[in-house]
Amino acid sequence: MFRTKTLFTHGARRAVLAMSMLAALAVPFEALANPRIVVDVATLKVLDQEQPFRKWYPASLTKLMTAYTTFRAIRAGEVRLDSLVTMSKRAAAQPASKMYYKPGQQLTLDSALKILLVKSANDIAVAIAETVGGTQENFVLRMNAEALRIGMTDSHFINPNGLPGKGQYTTAHDLALLTVMLKREFPEYASYFKIEGIDTGKRKYPNYNMLIGRFDGADGMKTGFICASGFNQVSSATRNGRNIVSVVLGTDSLAARADMSADLLQKAFVSPSAPGPRLDQMRPDADAALDVADITADICSAKGAKVRSESRDEAGRQKLESPYIHEMDHEPAYVFAGLIPGSEIAEPEKRVVAKKGGGKKAGEKKTAGKKSTTKKVAKKASMQPVDEGDTANVPVPKSKPQGQAQ
């Protein structure tokens, strides 16, 4: 049976948790520096906030709106979970993170949604948009219409996957509002946001959200990263019937966004409630007039790389500081999400025609392309802001030393 080793003895762990909880209660939220918000889903009471109306690049948090728009289409009877999603050339051409499916390959909308929310695949996001909206452009119009309908007045989307571009922005407040609407309007789809991992039939992908299976009561929602936004996370947890949502934007590493999210949720569960506004009654402040924040210089730089390097151990695993995130006590539960059997397309063998005066013989396999072109493409790709699916290793907490209590 799969078991993970623990870092502390039970007694030591309880002591550390107790001290950390006291410290968390003593340190004001203002000590944290990123845009954030914490909300009670049932009452809409804002439990904490910092720059909730600062415009930010949503990165893959955009896919929460993609999912919301799709759920609305399902409820309207336009599509079903067993509807076919066909990869188009446009979808297949999206930058990573992606599934690298070929044009013409198919999967169900159910599988596509699971891949969208767990693997954060940009090609799947476009394929879903084209399936629901007919074209990506039509789907994006619907995304923005839905955003305005539910009160996301400081958000605008230009694509369904969150890749950066002019006109793509949101706020911590709007993301919290979207998350509350997802939970209130579509409880039947709650399971999509707490999947521990997907199995495509060829490969398994654990969820990039490090709270799932590792923070008590965690049940959602989504993570995202591009250079301009830093590491973002929308989290949800439920304990004793109480559901809390947190939004954290602009952290400097995978570990930092998980740590901050866990600490914010934990404090919300254990701290006495203080007077605060309702989420739906908040009004934009002076931050709303500022341009969209761009922290590329801090994130995709030598300094940022050093921070991310220091947040991993020698094996490349995340070194998490929050005492509220623990190792999984079981192997991740993987659910199937992949291509429909038989839709996989065999890639044709590449051949070249023999040329006069030399060259490859007719029928001979083409084994190499132009080196200069390949290098240019690789260099260009390495400079592009990509989502977290391309970061090294599956983000899980640091291994626990052997020989200690299980």
Using only C-alpha atoms, the chain has a radius of gyration, in whole angstroms, of: 22
20 is an active site residue: no
Burial of 112 (0-12, 13-18, 19+ CB in 10 A): buried
Distances (CA, A) of 129 to 87, 219, 222, 370, 393: 11, 25, 18, 35, 29
**Order of strands, edge to edge, in the sheet holding 46-50?**
46-50, 36-40, 242-251, 230-239, 218-226
Q: Return d(Cα 341, Cα 238) in angstroms, integer.
A: 37
Could you tell me which of 371, 352, 372, 370 has the C-alpha nearest to residue 362?
Answer: 352
**Residue 353 CA neighbour count, 13 Å, CB half:** 1
**Which residue in the list 55, 60, 111, 246 is annotated as catalytic?**
60
Q: Running DSSP on this structure, what letter comes out for residue 194?
A: G
CA distance 45 to 38: 9
Are the C-beta atoms of residues 325 and 255 closer than 8 Å to each other? Answer: no
- At residue 113, what is the residue type? L
Among candidates 25, 20, 23, 117, which has minimal Cα distance to 71? 117
Half-sphere exposure of 337 (CA within 13 A, CB side): 28
CA-CA distance, 107 to 275, in Å (whole number)? 48
109 Cβ partners below 8 Å, 6+ apart? 70, 74, 79, 80, 81, 82, 83, 84, 85, 128, 131
Q: In the annotation, is 301 catalytic? A: no
> Would you call 253 a catalytic residue per the annotation?
no
H-only helix segments in 48-101 = 62-75, 89-92
Rounded distance between C-alpha atoms, residue 136 and residue 154, angstroms? 22
Catalytic residue among 63, 98, 114, 119: 63
Which candidate in 97, 111, 120, 322 is catalytic?
120
> H or E stretch including 250?
strand 242-251
What residues are labeled active site?
60, 63, 120
